[in-house]
Amino acid sequence: MSKDHLTLADFQRHIRDRYYATDSARGAPATFLWFVEEVGELATALHKAQGTATPAVMAKAKGGNLAEEFADVLAWLCTLANITGVDLADAVRDKYLESGGPEGHK
């Protein structure tokens, strides 16, 4: 995995290689709870960063590291995808790129 070029598939594979044994033993329901906790931490970081002037400032806002919280959410999403057999790159490609994508986020 190159530090200069990281794909979603590379990252999902990295998460699988590093954590799959533990994650699959925990199972999808318990893993989903961890994912939701990380989404909550992202929500808190976004709230703390609210009102900062630029995206760059917002990402490093006092009281939390927004970029780290986004990374955590993505890692736990990859974990859920791994233990349920979903290839995220294929899913994104199929839903958003090849089909033209949905009309909006719902």
Sign of CA dihedral 47, 49, 52, 55: negative
Sign of CA dihedral 1, 10, 97, 41: negative
Contacts for 1-6: CB closer than 8 Å, 24+ residues apart: none
Model confidence at 9, pLDDT cuts 50, 70, 90, reads very high
User: How high is the pLDDT of residue 48?
Assistant: 81
- Neighbour tally for 93: CB within 10 Å: 14
Sign of CA dihedral 96, 76, 29, 45: negative
Give tens-digit pLDDT for 52-104. 656 666 656 555 588 899 999 999 999 999 999 999 999 999 998 987 767 76
Model confidence at 106, pLDDT cuts 50, 70, 90, reads low
Nearest-10 crossing angle of helices 8-26, 66-84? 70
Give tens-digit pLDDT for 31-41. 999 999 999 99
What distance in Å separates the CA atoms of residue 85 and residue 24, rounded to the nearest whole number?
Answer: 11
Q: 102: which 2 tokens?
A: 């949905």
* Domain chopping of the chain, boundaries: 31-87
Which ranges constitute the DSSP H helices of the chain? 8-26, 28-49, 55-59, 66-84, 88-92
